[in-house]
Amino acid sequence: MNEERYILFDQYLQGEMTVEEKDNFEKQLSEDHELSSEFETFKEVQLRLKTKFEFEDEREAFKANLTEISDKHFNTSKPKVVLMRPWYYAAAASVIILFGLFFFDYNNPSFADYDNPETASFVERGDTNQALIGAQTAFNDGKYAAAIPLFEEILKQNKTPEIQYFYGVALLEESKYPKAESVFNELKSGTSAYKDKATWSLALSKLKQKKYTECKEILETISQDYENYDDVEKLLDELN
């Protein structure tokens, strides 16, 4: 259990950092996707706990139950006393969830459940563009890191919505979230046939980062005319 990391998250959310500490923390979040993902999970659990335990007696009952579980599963010969504000228990709750105890029904969907990139088929018979051929082959083989620079080379000369879309998907598969979301947002604001696909992929980017609230908000903007709207409805149901 990384208590230091949870304390750091809590201090940031409570505004207890100096300007320098806050800047350093935000820099870490932008550079470390694992840290960013864990921070989003912390915030999500914290929000759900605040919603679930509206009254003080409920919070106290929860804390007592959590203490009992913690003593049972994490106790050592020399118990460590840590004074925490009420919502710091969200950190402990997230750890217990990770250990599979699941005394809350927080069965959030995962990116892997919906990660089904479509097959790229933008190379036409007789095409001799080696970058185009290479990008399509690498993408369809799941070699996204190799496909990315090829897509970037192509986009310098031929910026089509189709190439942009597959480039964005490759970026998402490699967890390059800012770049991927920039591509998807551009397509989302346009009128091409990739508008809804890009919006769906943008939602999946939030899902992969465990930003469930943002994911849900994006899903709700997708038209029911979208060809895979069944997946949109399914994911919305799982997020509710």
pLDDT at 37 over 60: yes
- What domains does the chain contain, in order, with CATH numbers? 3-98 (no CATH), 111-239 (1.25.40.10)
Tell me the percentage of the chain whose pLDDT exceeds 70.
73
Does the reported pTM lie above 0.85? Answer: no
pLDDT at 63 over 70: no
Mean pLDDT of the chain: 81
DSSP code, position 45: H
**What residues contact 210, with CB distance under 8 A and at least 6 apart?**
37, 40, 41, 44, 108
Query: What does the alpha-carbon distance between residue 189 and residue 80 come to, in Å, rounded to a whole number?
Result: 53
CB 172 within 8 A of CB 204: yes
Mean pLDDT across 93-113? 58
Query: What does the alpha-carbon distance between residue 221 and residue 203 come to, in Å, rounded to a whole number?
Result: 10
Residue with the two structure tokens 């991927």: 180
Q: Give the count of alpha carbons within 13 A of 99, CB side only.
A: 14
Mean pLDDT across 68-90? 50
Q: What is the pLDDT of residue 73?
A: 47
Q: What is the pLDDT of residue 189?
A: 96
Q: Give the count of alpha carbons within 13 A of 122, CB side only.
A: 26
Reported as a pLDDT band with limits 50, 70 and 90, residue 149 is very high
Reported as a pLDDT band with limits 50, 70 and 90, residue 44 is confident
CB 161 within 8 A of CB 194: yes
- The string of pLDDT tens digits covering residues 154-172 is 999 989 999 999 999 999 9
CB atoms closer than 10 angstroms to residue 45 = 22
Nearest to 172 by CA among 112, 122, 230, 229: 112
